[in-house]
Amino acid sequence: MDARRNPFAPGAGTRPPELAGREDLIEASAVALDRIRAGRAARSTILYGLRGVGKTVLLSAIRDAAEAEGMAVVAIEAPENRSLPGILVPALRAALLRLDRVKQASAGVKRALSALAGFAKLKVKYDDLEVALDFASEPGLADSGDLEADLADLIVAVGEAARERGTAVVLAIDELQYVPEEQLAALISALHRANQRQLPITLVGAGLPQLLGQMGRAKSYAERLFAFVPVGPLDAAAAGDALRLPIEREGEAIDDAAIAAIVAETEGYPYFLQEWGKHSWDTAEASPITAEDVALATRTALAELDASFFRVRFDRLTPAEKRYLRAMATLGPGPHRSGDIADALGVKVSSVAPTRNTLIGKGMLYSPAHGDTAFTVPLFDAFMRRVLPD
Ligand SMILES: Nc1ncnc2c1ncn2[C@@H]1O[C@H](COP(=O)(O)OP(=O)(O)OP(=O)(O)O)[C@@H](O)[C@H]1O
Ligand SMILES: [Mg+2]
């Protein structure tokens, strides 16, 4: 069918034509944000799930809803190899200056900017921290040089500024699993302090499943401070909506059998639904899209994934890491016992532990329970078997 009108949007963080199956999550987070702005108790939200499951678009939807409600959103993505102070400072500064535009000369915002100036002295420790210092620091405010103490001062000052302005500040941080553990600990403890004072500042974070363990290790009370929300594949009804509604809006149709075939191939994973929807549309000669069209589209979709989505991840691996993942793939989708993987490789668990650790660090693997190992990329096991056949 006409590729120009193809509604599907496979990508990273690309808004889907239909954000299916997430209504409850969006509503729950809107309730939490409203409570926080009103100075009532509510937990910060952490969205966690595998690659391509829709965390970033969900975070964007929550962010947009908060902005529409007049809250101040500080949106950042934690890239690999950057420090939290380095990414937080410029974003917070911009948000504070925006807060100040609403009404000039706010004492709370001025104080928060002074806290930021004090905090920025941490650049002696975090060399990626760069900020225009257009505000004088206040002696004793966020300037001790200790990250945990200074971040708490800063977050509290920002929360007080938000309260003075009658709004809430929402820190929206994507890829939170890349924040090193001691910096994560400082962030959690700062939010804890603001939470105890019922200040209207909160975190909506998103990341891979290893984030749960990282946060729990960083601060044991993290589980009480945050609502950990699993973001998983869509169930059959939501996956059907994600496919059918965009097609129908273009005045075209898709068979039930075709939808069932796509749901089976993709296991309901949002990114793959977009890819299969796109390829099925392009493959079909005419509406309605049928199961035969999907069978053909599966070949082109897989070929394209193997050349891009899966491939870029594969190309970042060392030979030892590839062997480890290939051994896991032999055992199936997982999770697998680390001992079973070592057995499949014919080595001792301890000798491959470093490889497993670097794979976790690269965001390829996570440990759903002690001694278990699983892929963070859905359907990666089948890819490993295709790319490295026996
Ligand atoms: N609820 C949904 N319904 C339909 N499509 C969706 C849904 N959520 C996400 N998608 C689509 O899935 C793809 C992946 O979404 P997104 O980038 O948000 O995933 P992610 O979990 O952030 O992945 P990563 O861990 O790689 O960052 C996008 O193409 C997006 O349009
Ligand atoms: Mg993402």
Contact 110, 141 (CB under 8 A): no
The pLDDT, as a whole number, for residue 44 is 93
Contact 282, 295 (CB under 8 A): no
Please state the rounded mean pLDDT for residues 2-9.
Answer: 97
CA distances (Å), 255 to each of 204, 266, 282, 289, in order? 38, 17, 15, 6
- Coil/strand/helix, residue 47: strand
The pLDDT, as a whole number, for residue 327 is 97
With both helix axes pointing from N to C terminus, report the angle between 291-307 and 380-387 in degrees, rounded to the nearest 10: 70
Q: Ligand 1 in contact with 52 (CB < 6 A)?
A: yes
* Residue-wise pLDDT tens digits, 275-312: 999 999 999 999 999 999 999 999 999 999 999 999 99
- The residue to mutate among 274, 310, 366, 376, having the most atoms of ligand 1 within 8 angstroms of its beta carbon, is 274
Q: Ligand 1 in contact with 7 (CB < 6 A)?
A: no
Ligand 1 center from residue 239 Cα (angstroms): 12
Q: 202 forms bridges with which residues in the sheet?
A: 170
Spatial CB neighbours of 279, under 8 Å, sequence gap ≥ 6: 297, 298, 300, 301, 304
- Tokens 């680390």 sit at which residue? 338
* Residue-wise pLDDT tens digits, 74-89: 999 988 888 999 999 9
* Residue-wise pLDDT tens digits, 18-55: 999 999 999 999 999 999 999 888 899 999 999 999 99
Ligand 2 center from residue 279 Cα (angstroms): 22
* Residue-wise pLDDT tens digits, 353-381: 999 999 998 899 999 888 999 999 999 99
The pLDDT, as a whole number, for residue 102 is 59
- The residue to mutate among 57, 178, 249, having the most atoms of ligand 1 within 8 angstroms of its beta carbon, is 57
* Residue-wise pLDDT tens digits, 114-144: 999 999 999 889 988 887 777 889 999 999 9
Q: 365 forms bridges with which residues in the sheet?
A: 375
- Round the average pLDDT of the chain to a whole number and report it: 94
Ligand 1 center from residue 54 Cα (angstroms): 3
> CB 235: neighbour CB atoms within 10 A?
12
Q: Ligand 1 in contact with 273 (CB < 6 A)?
A: yes
The whole model's pTM is what?
0.92
Tell me which residue has its CA closest to atom 26 in ligand 1: 51
Please state the rounded mean pLDDT for residues 313-332.
Answer: 96
Q: Ligand 1 in contact with 83 (CB < 6 A)?
A: no
CA distances (Å), 271 to each of 42, 74, 328, in order? 31, 26, 23
Ligand 2 center from residue 158 Cα (angstroms): 27
Residues lining ion ligand 2 (Cβ < 5 A) are 56
Ligand 1 center from residue 388 Cα (angstroms): 27
Q: Ligand 1 in contact with 51 (CB < 6 A)?
A: yes
Q: Ligand 1 in contact with 363 (CB < 6 A)?
A: no
| Side-chain half-sphere CA neighbours of 39 within 13 A | 7
Helices (H), ranges, the chain: 23-37, 55-68, 84-102, 107-119, 147-164, 181-196, 210-218, 222-225, 236-249, 256-266, 270-283, 291-307, 309-315, 319-331, 338-345, 349-361, 380-387
Spatial CB neighbours of 137, under 8 Å, sequence gap ≥ 6: 114, 115, 117, 118, 120, 121, 143
DSSP summary character for residue 347: S
Q: Ligand 1 in contact with 21 (CB < 6 A)?
A: yes
Please state the rounded mean pLDDT for residues 214-234.
Answer: 94
Whether the pLDDT of residue 104 is over 70: the answer is no
- The residue to mutate among 53, 60, 176, 310, having the most atoms of ligand 1 within 8 angstroms of its beta carbon, is 53
Q: Ligand 1 in contact with 243 (CB < 6 A)?
A: no
Q: Ligand 1 in contact with 382 (CB < 6 A)?
A: no
Burial of 28 (0-12, 13-18, 19+ CB in 10 A): middle
Q: Ligand 1 in contact with 12 (CB < 6 A)?
A: yes
Ligand 1 center from residue 56 Cα (angstroms): 6
